[in-house]
Amino acid sequence: MKKLIVSIKSSGETMADFKKALKVARKGRLKGDHFELSFDNKKNFDRFVKNLGILSAILTYKPKSVYELAKLVDMDVSNLNKLIVFFEAVGAITIKMSTVSGRTVKTPVVEYGHIEFDLKAA
C-alpha cells in the first residue's frame, strides 16, 4: 500500500528534494511506493493537519459519496466540499465520478495506507 509523507518546506528545499529524486529515478534506484506532499506555508499545512479526521473517515467507512461522508462526520456538505477540493488539489485524495440513478456522484478515495509526517526543526 502507498505511503504519503507530509512535510512543510520552503520552495527551495522542495526543488532541491525534487532534483535529488529525479537523479535517483533516472538511475533506476527508486525505493518503495511513497509520495511526498510538501507545504510551503503554515496555513495550508495546519488546514491539512486539522482535517486529518476526514481522511481517516474516508479510509475507515469508504463512503460512496461526499453526501454520505458528510453524514458520517456530521458536517455541512458545502463545508466538506471545500475540504474535499483542497485535499484533491494537494494530492491527498482522488475523486471518482460515477452515475447513480441518473445523478453524478463524487466518491472520495484515499489511496494511501500510511501517512507519515517529516517535521525537521529549523
Nearest alpha carbon to residue 112 among 22, 5, 17, 29: 5
At residue 107 the predicted structure's pLDDT band, cuts being 50, 70 and 90, is very high
Is residue 91 pLDDT above 80, yes or no? yes
Q: What architecture does CATH give domain 2-118?
A: Orthogonal Bundle (1.10)
Angstrom CA distances, 25 to 4, 9, 31, 42, 110, stand at 18, 21, 9, 29, 25
Is residue 79 pLDDT above 60, yes or no? yes
Against a cut of 0.75, is the pTM above it? Answer: yes
Q: CB of 106 within 8 A of CB of 97? A: yes
Is residue 22 pLDDT above 70, yes or no? yes
